[in-house]
Structures are given as structure tokens and as C-alpha cells.
């Protein structure tokens, strides 16, 4: 099984605690997911994530509905949380989110995703043809959408 790494960094124009609270509200997972993935919760999500919380949802990958279950492996407010895929399309998916004060009411958000595709070595063909580009597009969308949410809610807070 070959492991791949995706790393992203974004500056959010909101204070650290507010930004962290936005990311640990599971409802915002849907807000930050591209519409073409047809995200929907399969079970009501917890009001706020904590270590051990699970989220069951469905997305459509290349037109195929996929049941995805994420469990919060670690939550250390307001510094980081780690989610792992328990059920879904990957052989391995471990996503570490870290948050740090960037000064002037801004937060640096870093994503570090370690993932592997199933069906080695066929999964590697899919990686080069589809997956790497698709993940980049999803994280690009998330970055744009978060900036738009902040702009639209500039008078309030992210968690209003």
C-alpha cells in the first residue's frame, strides 16, 4: 500500500477560537464540500465534535454513492483535531487539522492528509488519473468557499 500526502495552508481572517469552533461544527463540513459531491448526512451529526465523535455521511464520487464514516481520533481545542476514515473509499485516510494564531485576528489553518488508495496497484492508476487532481479541486473549493463565508458574514461571526 502506497501512502500519499496532501498538505494545505490557509489564512482565515477570523480569531483562532472562532475559526476552530467553525471547523468543529459538523454542519460546516457540508458547507465546505463542493455541491457536485452531493454531500448528505446519513445520521444527525453531533452538535460539536469531540474525541470519539463519529459522522456518517454520503457523497457521490464519479456518480457512485459512497457511505463515509469519519471518527474524531483526537481533539485538542483550539489547536488541532484529527479525523480518520472508518468507512469510505480509501484504504487509509487520516486528516490532521491544526490552527494557530496568525496575528491581527487571523488564524493559520493547516491540513495534513495521509491517504492510500485501495486495490494496490490498480489504485495507483486511479491516483494518477483522477484522485490527486480531484482532491486538489476539493481543497481549492473549500478555501474559496470559506473566504466567501467570511466575506458574507463580515458583520457577525463564523459561528452565528
Q: Is the residue at 61 inside a domain?
A: yes
List the pLDDT tens digit at each of the 160 positions of the chain.
889 999 999 999 999 999 999 999 999 999 999 999 999 999 999 998 999 999 999 999 888 999 999 999 999 999 999 999 999 999 999 999 999 999 999 999 999 999 998 866 655 655 555 778 889 999 999 999 999 998 887 656 565 5
Is 42 inside a domain boundary?
yes
Q: Is residue 157 part of a domain?
A: no
Q: Per the domain annotation, does 88 fall within a domain?
A: yes
Give the CA-trace dihedral at 84, 98, 40, 129, to 10 degrees. -70
Q: Is residue 14 part of a domain?
A: yes
- Residue 24 lies inside a defined structural domain of this protein: yes
Tell me which residue has cell 496568525: 102
Cβ count near 119 (within 10 Å): 11
Report the number of distinct structural domains present in the chain.
1
Contact 23, 160 (CB under 8 A): no
Catalogue the long-range contacts made by 127-135 (C-beta closer than 8 Å, 24 or more residues apart): 127/4, 130/62, 132/4, 135/6
Domain housing 57: 3-152
pTM for the full predicted model: 0.90
Amino acid at each position: 500500500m502506497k501512502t500519499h500526502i496532501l498538505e494545505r495552508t490557509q489564512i482565515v481572517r477570523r480569531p483562532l477560537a472562532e475559526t476552530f469552533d467553525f471547523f468543529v461544527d459538523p454542519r460546516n463540513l457540508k458547507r465546505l464540500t463542493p455541491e457536485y459531491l452531493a454531500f448528505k448526512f446519513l445520521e444527525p451529526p453531533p452538535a460539536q465534535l469531540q474525541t470519539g465523535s463519529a459522522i456518517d455521511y454520503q457523497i457521490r464520487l464519479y456518480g457512485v454513492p459512497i457511505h463515509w464514516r469519519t471518527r474524531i481520533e483526537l481533539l485538542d481545542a483550539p489547536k488541532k483535531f484529527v479525523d480518520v476514515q472508518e468507512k469510505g473509499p480509501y484504504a487509509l485516510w487520516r486528516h490532521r487539522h491544526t490552527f494557530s494564531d496568525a496575528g491581527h485576528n487571523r488564524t493559520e489553518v493547516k491540513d495534513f492528509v495521509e491517504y492510500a488508495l485501495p486495490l494496490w496497484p490498480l489504485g495507483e492508476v486511479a491516483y494518477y488519473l483522477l484522485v490527486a487532481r480531484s482532491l486538489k479541486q476539493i481543497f481549492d473549493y473549500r478555501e474559496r468557499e470559506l473566504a466567501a463565508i467570511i466575506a458574507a458574514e463580515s458583520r457577525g461571526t463564523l459561528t452565528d
